[in-house]
Amino acid sequence: MANNGTTNGDALHDEQEHLTLWQAAKTFPRIVLFSLAAGVAGMTFGYDVVINGAAIAMPSFLIYFGAVTPNHTLYLPSIWASLFSAMSALGQAVGGIAVAPLSDKYGRKVAIIVSCLISVVGVGLQYGATSRGMILAGKVVNGFAIGGILSSGTAWASEISPACLRGPIQSGIVLFQVLVQALALVVVRQHIASIEPSAFRTVFAIQWAFCGLTCILFFLVPESPTWLIIKGRQDQAKKAVAQLYGGKNNPEAWYESIASRVRQEAAQEHASGIGGYLELYRGSNLKRTMTVHLLFFGIGLAGSSFLAQSIYFLLTAGLPAIHTFDVSIGGFALAFFAIIASWVHLEKVGRRSLWLVGCTVNTVVMAVIGGLYWAPGKGALWAIAILMNILVCWQSTTLTSVAFVIAGEISPYRLRSKNQAIAILSNALTTWLFNFVVPYMYNIDSGDLGARTALVFAGSSLVLSLVSYPLIPDLRGLTTAEIDWLYENKIAPKKFQQYTDGRAAEGVVATAAEGKAATV
C-alpha cells in the first residue's frame, strides 16, 4: 500500500507540475471554489487591520474618545493610538497559539467556527463601547478570535491544495484581505462626515458580517483530508478527497498519495521521539521555523505598520480627511489587481526573487518618502500620500503574499497547524511591536518625526534585504517530501530551485528505500 501510494503520488505530481495557473484552476475547480472559504476567513483579519488605523481618524471617534490640543485640534493620545493598534495584534498572537491544539484535536473546521463565535463577542464589545478601555477589551478579544481563524484557515487551505495551486491559494487569502481593506475604507469614508457615535459604531458592527459568513462557510466545506487521515478517520478522509478533487481527477489515487505522505511523516515522528511545538525548533525544522519568523518580522521591518496608519498619519500632517481616504482606497484597489497579476510571477519568477525585489524597491521608496519631509508645499504632502499607498500595493503584492505562501508550504504535514500558528504569532507580535512604537515616532505629542519616519524603515528594509539573501527559499514545484529532503540534507535555501531537475525527487525515493531497508 505504501509503495503504491508513493508511486501514485509521484505520478500525480508529475502530471500537475507543468500546469499553468489557468489549467490548474480548470483541473481542480472544486478546490478553487472551496478555498474561497479561506479567503473570507482572511477578510476578518483584513477588515480589522484597516479599522484599527482608520476608525481613529474619524471625527466621530475622536470627539467621543480623543483629546484636544491647545490649538483646538482633535487627536488621539499616543498611548491610546498605540494600544488600539497594537493590542489587537497581541490578541492575535495569543489566539493563534491557543487555538492550534484545538485545531489539532477537533479539526480545522471546529477551531474556526469556535473562533468565529468568540469574534462575535469581541465585535459586540467594540460596538457598545462607552470608554477607551471597553474599546481596547473588544479589540483584544476579537484579535484572539482572528488569530485562531487565520492560523486554522491558512492551515486548512494549505492541506486541501495540490502543489500547483498551493501558492495562488495562499496568495488568494492575501487578495481577499486587500479587497476587504479597500471596502473598509469605502465604509469609513461614507461615515467620515458624521460626528454622531453611530458613525464609528456602524464601522465596527460590519465585522459581524465577516465572522458570520466565515462560520457558515466552514460549516459547509469538507474537513482537511490530511487531518482526517492523521486521526484515523479513513472513510471520512476518502469522502473529503472525493468532494475536493471530484470523480474525474482519480480521487482514490489522491487519497493514497496523501495517506502515504502522512504515514511517512508519522514514521519520522515516531523515530525522532519529539512532538509538539518543540519539534519546530529542532533538527531540520529549526531553519524552516526561523525562516517563517524572518518573513513576518520582515514585513514589520519593511514599515507595514507605518503604512497601515497612513490615514491617521496624513491627517496629522495636514491632508484633509476625505482626500486621505480617497488616496488610500485607490492604493488598495491597485493592490487588488497587482496581487492577481503576481500569481503568474509566483510560479514563473518564484517566491525568493519576488521577496528580494520587494525588499529592494521598498528600501528606495521609503528613502524617497523620508526625503520629502524637507520639500516645501502641499505638493510634497500629496506625493507622500501617493507613494505611501503605492507602497501598500507593492508590499501586499510582494512581501505579504510571499510570506503567506512560503509559510503555508514550508513545514511537514504533521506540523502544519503548529507552523501556521507560529506564523500568525510572528505576524501578530511583529504588528503589536511596530504598531505600538510607530505612533510615538510620528505623532505630534511625541517624536514628531513626520515623514522622516520612513527613513527609519528604509534602513531596516536594507538590513532585511541582506539577511534574506541566504535564507529565503523558492519552493515552487517542490512537494512537501522534497522540501523535507532538502532541509534534512542541509541544502542552501537559495539553491533549492536547482534541485527541481529531479535530484530532490530521487533523494526522497532513496531516503524512503533506506528507511525500509533499515526496518527489514
Amino acid 1: pLDDT: 39
CB 323 within 8 A of CB 389: no
What structural domains does the chain harbor?
Answer: 36-256+279-477 (1.20.1250.20)
pLDDT tens-place values along the chain, 520 residues long:
344 544 455 556 556 666 777 888 899 999 999 999 999 999 999 899 888 877 887 888 888 888 877 777 777 887 887 788 778 888 988 898 899 889 989 999 999 999 999 999 999 999 999 999 999 999 999 999 999 999 899 889 989 988 788 878 888 888 898 889 888 888 888 888 888 888 999 999 999 999 999 999 999 999 999 999 989 999 999 999 999 998 888 889 999 988 888 887 776 666 555 557 888 888 888 999 999 999 999 999 999 988 888 877 887 788 887 788 788 888 878 887 887 777 766 677 788 999 999 999 999 999 999 999 999 878 888 999 999 989 988 998 899 889 988 988 888 877 877 888 888 888 888 888 887 888 888 877 777 788 899 999 999 999 999 999 999 999 887 888 889 899 999 999 999 999 988 888 888 888 777 766 555 5
Nearest to 339 by CA among 408, 419, 405: 405
Continuous H helices in 377-415: 378-395, 401-409
Q: Name the one residue in this structure whose C-alpha cell is 462575535.
A: 120
Amino acid 349: pLDDT: 79
What are the angstrom distances between the C-alpha of 347 and each of 351, 474, 497?
8, 10, 12
Amino acid 178: pLDDT: 83
What are the angstrom distances between the C-alpha of 343 and each of 340, 348, 403?
6, 9, 14
Nearest to 398 by CA among 302, 331, 483, 467: 302
Amino acid 378: pLDDT: 83
Report residue 338 as a C-alpha cell: 497587482
